[in-house]
Structure 1
Amino acid sequence: MASCQSSSVAEEPLESILPENFETPPTIEDVFAPDYWDDAQLVWSDEFDGTALSAENWKLETGNHGWGNNELQNYISEGNVEVGDGTLKIIAKKETFDGSNYTSARLNSKKEFRYGKMEIRAKIPEYKGKGIWPALWMLGYDINSVGWPACGEIDIMEYVSYSPNEVHFSIHSTANNHVKGTQITSGPVPMETIEEEFHTYGVLWTDKYMKFYIDTAENVQLNFIRPANSNSDNWPFSKPFYFLMNIAVGGNWGGLEGVDNTIFPAVMEVDYVRVYQK
């Protein structure tokens, strides 16, 4: 019955049995708290100062194979990118090059990021007619090994010129993508000044959600919460992603109502790309 007897040994204070180098574990922050992003720090940016594209920050992806969407442009490495007066200019042109009747540029960031407040301030090409498809977006770093859509896609801004004064925000994964017609999307968001003024397009990205917004983080247009039973098919968003910026011509969506050849050259200006993290 010894185990039922009360001990006469006093309990040692907790402080005396902790190792000298013990550190209290940090408090886990609530990512849904209204002030969660208030102390996020700028960790990477390109302000596009100077007169040349930073080879340290960007690489140009090239080709005219349709890019999975039957697009018409040839992305080439020279002649379609300019930097000056504090902005990057991505230019789509009506010109023949290596079997294509249009040229453009597609920029990929060399650095990858996992979670953060991602912002791109840009001005969509002046509205002149149908046929272009500018986009500011992100892809999973493992696209070359797992392919699309398993890599995941985060569309920070998409625009098709046959539908002016509107912008779209979307995500794509194996479970939710436009090929299946199951993509998670804001649908068309009205923006009367999208072609005339610079706007900030952003996403707040944590391990619990992605929130897409215009100009301020409070102006959320699409809120995607991580599924309760998440897996790599419906939430491939817990790994690094890289930025892409481009203007496509035609394609399954951009060319849905044809291409007006009088709209070229079409220029998208980017003021900056910024990444803030906790």
Structure 2
Amino acid sequence: MSTRNSARWRRTARLLVAPAALLVAGAVLTAPQSQAAPAQTLASFGDDFDGPAGSGVDGSKWGHETGDNVNNHERQWYTDGTANAVLDGQGHLVITAKKENSGNNCWYGACEYTSARLNTSGKFTASSGHVEARMKLPRGQGMWPAFWMLGSDIGSVGWPQCGEIDIMENVGFEPNTVHGTIHGPGYSGSGGIGAPYDGPNFSDDFHTYAIDWSQDKIVWSVDGNAYQTRTPADVGGNQWVFNHGFFVILNLAVGGYWPGDPDGSTQFPQQLVVDYVHVS
């Protein structure tokens, strides 16, 4: 087991949910009550984040999760409203990680940072298709942006039986690398199956992160360059749990076992800027 993988598992073993309250192995991420109703599995989804500067996300498409995530030893408190997730008036969603002076009460002490985590649970799920986001990543030690999906049956079967598809993860100490991974029963956490993609500094400009997802096959790409394909043959005789509905998640975590904590070189605020999210 590599050092990276031995730390990395803690990021994924986190959502054991009831639909209205996302339980995080010792912490609780509270989600909007509208999530209690199951989402209809639809063929397409799109958000170009067009709207006035200072406005919040479209509530018919996204819900906020609020709280902390002690299981991963993350340092942020996820907030609701526009404090940390706002439209910039130029067609972007901006998720901002801020260093706070006072902090909120977290499971492990005072949260030094705030950020945001959004999902489509109860609003949109997909079971196949092209899932894509164009984003500009934050930079700096301790930053941990992610674009990912969880099986919509997580409330009944739990994680990792529901399945998790990490379309893009980045940790600040690897500014030129993003990761794509799947997690399921028998291949979760450090046993998650994935690959890195090395490119330019992903904080310098926008890049497109995507999967092409069909029955028994997922292909990851960055800027149209396919770099990884996974099928049931890759899961070592375990169950392939990716042929059902999944919802979409965007978040910017601060700290955690995989990225490590921010240090004196980390400048705040940091931003995950999202141009669009499309599913077709």
- Once the two structures are superposed, residues 97-118 of structure 1 have per-residue CA deviations (whole angstroms, 9 ceiling, x without a partner) of 2331111100001211110011
Aligned runs of 1:196-215 on 2, under 5 Å? 196-215=204-223
Within the candidate set 119, 135, 159, 1:108 is matched to 119
- Once the two structures are superposed, residues 210-241 of structure 1 have per-residue CA deviations (whole angstroms, 9 ceiling, x without a partner) of 0000111xx1111101239998x531101100
Structure with the largest fraction of helix = 2
Counterpart of 2:187?
Answer: 176
Aligned runs of 1:21-170 on 2, under 5 Å? 43-51=44-52, 52=55, 53-66=57-70, 68-78=71-81, 79-84=83-88, 85-95=90-100, 96-98=103-105, 99-109=110-120, 110-125=123-138, 127=139, 129-170=140-181
1:190 and 2:198 correspond: yes
Change (3 A) 1:229 1:242: closer
Q: CA RMSD in A?
A: 2.0
Structure 1 distance, partners of 2:270, 2:158, is: 30
SS in 2 for 1:263: coil
SS in 1 for 2:258: coil
Structure 2 distance, partners of 1:215, 1:164, is: 16
**Contact in 1 for aligned 2:128/2:215 (Cα 8 Å):** yes
Q: Which has the larger radius of gyration?
A: 1
Structure 1 distance, partners of 2:67, 2:156, is: 19
Structure 2 distance, partners of 1:272, 1:149, is: 28
Counterpart of 1:248?
Answer: 253
- Once the two structures are superposed, residues 1-22 of structure 1 have per-residue CA deviations (whole angstroms, 9 ceiling, x without a partner) of xxxxxxxxxxxxxxxxxxxxxx
In the alignment of these two chains, the number of paired residues is 225
Structure 2 distance, partners of 1:191, 1:69, is: 27
Counterpart of 2:227?
Answer: 221
SS in 1 for 2:155: helix
- Runs (4+) of structure 1 moved beyond 3 Å? 228-231
Runs of at least 5 residues in structure 2 that lack an aligned partner in the other structure? 1-42
Structure 2 distance, partners of 1:164, 1:271, is: 19
Change (3 A) 1:239 1:199: same
- Once the two structures are superposed, residues 76-127 of structure 1 have per-residue CA deviations (whole angstroms, 9 ceiling, x without a partner) of 11300110210000011111123311111000012111100111111101x3
Structure 1 distance, partners of 2:267, 2:154, is: 33
Measured after TM superposition, the shift of residue 251 of structure 1 is 0.8
Structure 2 distance, partners of 1:260, 1:230, is: 39
Counterpart of 1:263?
Answer: 267
TM-score by length of 2: 0.76
Change (3 A) 1:65 1:215: closer
Q: Which amino acid aligns with 1:207?
A: Q
**Contact in 1 for aligned 2:216/2:243 (Cα 8 Å):** no
Structure 1 distance, partners of 2:187, 2:181, is: 10
**Contact in 2 for aligned 1:176/1:234 (Cα 8 Å):** no
TM-score by length of 1: 0.76
Measured after TM superposition, the shift of residue 198 of structure 1 is 0.6
Structure 2 distance, partners of 1:228, 1:157, is: 19
**Contact in 1 for aligned 2:187/2:235 (Cα 8 Å):** no
SS in 1 for 2:98: strand
Structure 1 distance, partners of 2:91, 2:145, is: 20
Q: Which amino acid aligns with 1:74?
A: W
Runs of at least 5 residues in structure 1 that lack an aligned partner in the other structure? 1-41
